[in-house]
Structure 1
């Protein structure tokens, strides 16, 4: 009876092996990268299969250096893989292709350099055609203040009926890229462009128009912009 009590106590008091928390993220990353098994991943990446299997099973921890190796192979962030910090992967980025705003005379401008100097994270639902404009000045106060980011899809297609009545990004046949409310003109192919604080422009011929997909306020825009370099 005494031996039985000792056996029961030993069974109850001995904790089960603890699976390392990074193991689940490692398995998740491996599957997302397209490797069906741990052995397949190890073989493709030139790792010791037994050592990798131990890490993914959670029987042993992997250090920061090894986490960097795994993260690079599976295209995830090392911080996430090692410690669960932040998102699993970096967001895609959109180029900031120019500035839209007001010059000293009050006219809206669009300016762009030879190549994007800044990048901004893609907003939800964006595609690889997403681009952004940075607002300069107060010509769109209330819609997009000085320093805000305006995103749109750079598809270069003609205006569509669902754009009428909405603020969109347009390019005129005079090479101006503007942010305006799009209204129907006096005849097909012509449009009126309504501003927030300037006279409307009537019967303008447009090369293309694009829906605005996101507007990021100035404070947040300053935090998320990165140099294209």
Structure 2
């Protein structure tokens, strides 16, 4: 393992992630790509190094060179009273699967819902108008990762991930079970965001999956 990979692993462990897979799944990174960087298989591009540094609360310069003066690893922030932000949800916004969005403000200042473990909860910054009947652009939704809670049921608001080739879209939808078939509906006043998606019946090569279930929302009034 090269020195960059060793520092990346150290930063990930100090950030509280027990494995590369846990970090990748929680932060919505492609596991194979991240794992190849942590095991020294290949060096990430500079923009990915910056995003890894931000996610793990270390300096990008420290990851690259190990130079203490660049930035020392920061001890994990106490997460009592905050919910970590995993990224953005925006219908129609497609990005390369190897990239991800992580916010400058990486925590929402609200206590985790006591019905669920703090580790299972995350927040997403809402962009666009695809669910503006429920949440507005700039709001945050608080969600529970679907593999750490019950399955989504009829009328739940869910975070979905849609893949088309190497492109990925993450967005919000209302799950409805109609005649036994799950469908995903936007709830928008914008005609561009009113067409439902079928879950489990890929359209035009799309692969659609539910990754989290929404349990609340947060709006910054400052």
**Shared fold per TM-score greater than 0.5:** no
Higher helix share: 1
Q: Which has the larger radius of gyration?
A: 1
Q: TM-score normalised to the size of structure 2? A: 0.45
Q: TM-score normalised to the size of structure 1? A: 0.43
